[in-house]
Structure 1
Amino acid sequence: MTAMGFDEPGGPDVFRAEELAIPEPGTDQVLIRVSHAGVNRPDVIQRQGFYPPPPGASPIPGLEVSGEVIALGDGSPQALMGQRVCALVSGGGYAEYCLAHFRHCLPVPSGLSMAEAAALPETLFTVWHNVFERGLAADGETLLVHGGTSGIGTMAIMLAKAFGLDVIVTCGDDAKCEAAREVGADHAINYKRQDFVEEVGKITAGKGVEVVLDMVSGDYVARNLKCMAESGRHVTIAVLGGMQAEINMAVVMSRRYTLTGSTLRPRSDAFKAALADEIAQVAWPLIEKGEILPVMDQTFPLAEVSAAHARMEAGDHIGKIVLEVAGD
């Protein structure tokens, strides 16, 4: 099979095509003939040399795929054979064939394209776990999301609105703010022209937001805390602005804040399976009904993965970037 890998970390141009043996599914695994693969920020960070795959994972980037199940490992249900699925994987998505745990697969609804299906697992699993499980977001609360037009941001908007939250996002320009509002955000703040702390205060009449989904970290953390209501929850899922944050712990105590965060890729198969089960029951029906559809930016052929990564790093995308491996 053809896969897109790299010999040494570097810029988008380090990718090269390589011929590898088609992997064989082990216990509880399925082999997927890949139609499309999602491109995500962790892929970029891996290519740069800062996010190595966990033990046992494929060194080939790619954390989500769509395609057809063509082989089963021991313990995988026979009913999955020949099914169209999308799957969360720990690596290996940038290839013509990819292994997935059978319990990390979700069926592709008839009205969803395979490109759209490949754009779902990483953002859906991440947002569901961090906003609703770790952040304990509830109907009637307000969520603040940084990077409102990213794949994570657009999914967070749609899921939060589907479950009765108000949503405030930050974006880097007015066009992206308008795009975020079109996705469903109640308020969009151009952080380059406005102080988001002041704007959140105005929007919430001084109360603040109950949940912050933060992909920036660094000096944003202290500013985020100023945006939060009493007993607010701050959830970190990336550290694009720096790994260190300086905060006033007296404020955390007096306002009863909860600071948490997570990374999904290294979690156990059992954890991801339980998360997939919950998503299948609670969130997947919204996908099947077409009430939530991924916001799609641009699709690139697998051979043009360097261009796909360059677009993500430029920050001009709105929604998800995907690779076409074999097509629908």
Structure 2
Amino acid sequence: MRAVVLKEDGYSPDALPASQVRAVDRYLELAEVAVPEPGPDQVLIKVTAAMVNPSDLAFIQGGYGQPRVKGAPAGFEGVGEVVATKGLYAKTMKGNRVSFAVSLNGSGAWAEYAVTDAMSAISLRKDVRDEDGAALIVNPLTAAAMVEMVPKAGAFVVSGAASQLGKLMAGLASDNGKRMIALVRRDGPAEALKALGASHVLNETSESFAADLKAVLKAEKPTVFLDCIAGSVSSRVFAAMGKDSTWVIYGKMTPEPPEILEPGQLIFMRKKIEGFWLVSWMKNSSLMEKMSAIKQVQARFAEGKWKTDIKARVKLEDLVAELPKELDKTDGKVMITIS
């Protein structure tokens, strides 16, 4: 089968933030590899489409939470049809169209076929588009899990809010009576985010940002900061938040390191810093929690409350050459099509 595979092993100390990755031919190449075989409780999926996420761009460089394996297909999530299975539960999925995330002992989604644990595949409703099925896990389940961290009727701050994940959280928060303070780096996305449900949109590059932030924090009193940037602005936002606030870091989109500007706040104001990784959430959450989140995510896509914005469609065989120019475009995901 054809697959876009990794050219290097393990981790690398030289990995760039995902937002700075462009040329990928150092890390990836198109190759012919054997079709993987499902192991116990696994499914083999004929892949229809796959997504390119920031986590993929970190991983291919060796800057993610799991090591690369040279020659293995890349790609964390996609959509396709289950064509072979092993195990009783896996057998129930044969012939189903599924959204899937690649398990640690599986094979990557940027290929004609992929293997993953049956528990990492989700049988899709007929009214969920392939575009949404290919991006149903990484961002949507992260959105559902993190918005759940916000107290009922509470407010929260989101960095990088113009991203696909930020858009998903805006609508979900609004529908659940929670107020989202969206941080962006340009004015363009502001109206769209407000239309989706964001209560406030602040431009970090504006001269009035510090004053605007102070006023909004005073009025809304958010206690959760969901941060995918983890840079100097993030440090200032957290320092400006009130007591009992939590800074949740789930990404790193800038090379500059964050700082603890006011260490005393961690002691006397009971503020804290923690990380979020969907892999850990999936492992540690109860079956009921996961089923509830999956049901909610599928319903939102099927009902049109959510949609995956696609900025480019790239054929699998053209991915290595064309991905750099597509990453320069804003407002949407790159979808890999596999025929």
TM-score range, shorter chain: 0.7 to 0.9
Over residues 88-138 of structure 1, what are the superposed CA-to-partner deviations in whole Å (9 max), with x where a residue is unaligned? 224501111111221222222222221221122111222233342xxx213
Per mean C-alpha deviation after superposition, the further-off stretch among 268-277 and 139-148 is 268-277
- Does residue 100 in structure 1 map to residue 119 in structure 2? no
Structure 2 residues not aligned, in runs of 5+: 13-20
- Decide which of 255, 260, 276 is 2:269's aligned counterpart: 255
Q: Deviations over 1:118-162 (max 9, x none)?
A: 122111222233342xxx213311121111121222222232223
SS in structure 2 opposite 1:144?
strand
Contact persistence 1:181–1:187 (CA under 8 A): yes
Deviation of 1:174 after TM superposition, in Å, equals 1.6
1-side partners of 2:240 and 2:246: how far apart? 11
Deviations 1:193-219 (A, max 9, x none): 245443232234445322111011132
Are 1:210 and 1:229, in contact at CA under 8 Å, matched by a contact in 2? yes
CA deviations on 1:31-88 (whole Å, 9 max, x unpaired) are 1111111111111112233237448898422111111111111243432110111012
197-206 vs 141-150, which moves further:
197-206
**Partner AA of 1:211 in structure 2:** V
Q: Identity across aligned pairs (percent)?
A: 23
- 1:224 alignment counterpart: 237
Question: What's the offset of the Cα at 1:4?
Answer: 0.8
TM-score where L is the length of structure 1: 0.86
Q: Give matches, 1:208-287, under 5 Å.
A: 208-241=221-254, 242-265=256-279, 267=280, 270-271=283-284, 274=287, 276-287=290-301
Aligned partners of 2:80, 2:247: CA distance in 1, in Å?
A: 36
Would the alpha carbon gap of residues 169 and 308 (structure 1) be closer, same or farther in structure 2, given more than 3 Å must change?
farther
2:125 paired with 1:109:
yes
Question: What are the Cα deviations for residues 168-201 of structure 1, in whole angstroms up to 9, with x where unaligned?
Answer: 2122212122333343322222212245443232
The normalised TM-score by structure 2 is 0.83
Residues 144 and 172 (structure 1 numbering): CA distance in 2 closer, same or farther, change over 3 Å?
same
Cα distance in 1 for partners of 2:54, 2:274 equals 20
* Cα offset, 1:269, TM superposition: 7.0
| C-alpha separation in 1, matches of 2:166 and 2:326 | 14
Select between 189-198 and 252-261 the one with higher mean Cα deviation: 189-198
* Aligned counterpart in structure 1 of residue 73 of structure 2, from 60, 64, 74: 60
- Whole-angstrom distance in 1 between the partners of 2:269 and 2:286: 35
The answer to whether the Cα contact below 8 Å between 1:6 and 1:16 also exists between their aligned partners in 2 is yes
Q: Secondary structure of the residue that 1:175 maps to in structure 2?
A: coil
Q: Distance in 1 between matches of 2:36 and 2:47?
A: 13
**SS across alignment from 1:174:** coil
Aligned pair in 2 of structure 1 residues 322, 227: CA closer, same or farther (>3 Å)?
farther
1:13 aligns to 2:25 (yes or no): yes
Which SS does the other structure have where 1:12 is aligned? coil
Q: Partner of 2:214: helix, strand, or coil?
A: helix
CA contact (8 A) 1:197 1:226 kept: no
Residue in structure 1 matching 2:177, options 154, 158, 164: 164
Instruction: Give the partner amino acid of 1:144.
Output: V
Q: Which residue is equivalent to 2:134? A: 118
Q: Compare 219-228 and 271-280 and name the one that shifted more.
A: 271-280
CA RMSD of aligned residues (A): 2.8
**8 Å Cα contact 1:85/1:105 also seen in 2:** yes
**Alignment partner of 1:140 out of 131, 135, 153:** 153
Equivalent position amino acid for 1:188 in 2: V
Alignment of 1:315-326 (within 5 A): 316-326=329-339
Distance, in Å, in 2 between the alignment partners of 1:6 and 1:239 is 22
Aligned partner of residue 49 in structure 2, secondary structure: strand
Whole-angstrom CA distance in 2 between matches of 1:272 and 1:32:
25
Change (3 A) 1:159 1:304: farther
Q: Please, which of 29, 43, 48 is the counterpart of residue 42 of structure 2? A: 29
Q: How many residues are matched?
A: 321
Match of 1:4 in 2: 4
**Displacement of 1:288 after TM fit?**
3.6
